Amino acid sequence: MIKFLLDYSSGVPVYRQIIDQIRFGIASGQLKLGEQLPTVRALAVELKVNLNTVSKAYKELEIKNILETQQGTGTFINAIEPVVPEKEREDKLKEICTQFSSVAFSYGFSLDDVIQELKNIETF
């Protein structure tokens, strides 16, 4: 199970942060296919957010066939490995790079500094 962390100063809606963290959890192997997620109520209480916020995130992931809700049992990572459309992947990478470079440049790092550090990072 992953630990959800919200950043209210990021400008990214909370429901979107939940979606992104679930997707990252699946991609990184922290969430396994078929694994049960917390109930909407339990996650809303844990994150101190409105039930509708968590419900909206879960519903969007269900529409994309990433989550599956079984009435009376719970919400699970869909057993079918999700395929992220290429356009969505490109858009997400662009968003990540924009946010990342904004922070890096505000600290005075050059593009060469950033590229060198990215080359040094070990992938998981």
CATH number at residue 44: 1.10.10.10
Q: What is the pLDDT of residue 79?
A: 75
Q: Tens of pLDDT along 16-60?
A: 999 999 998 988 889 998 999 999 999 999 999 999 999 999 999
Residue 13 · residue 47 · CB < 8 Å: no
- What is the span of the domain harbouring residue 47? 14-77
Residues 67 and 22 in one domain: yes
Same domain membership, residue 100 and residue 67: no
In a domain, 3, yes or no: no
Over residues 85-100, the mean pLDDT reads 86
Helix, strand counts (H, E) of the chain: 5, 3
CB 41 within 8 A of CB 51: yes
Residue 124 clears pLDDT 60, i.e. is over it: no
Q: What is the pTM of this model?
A: 0.70
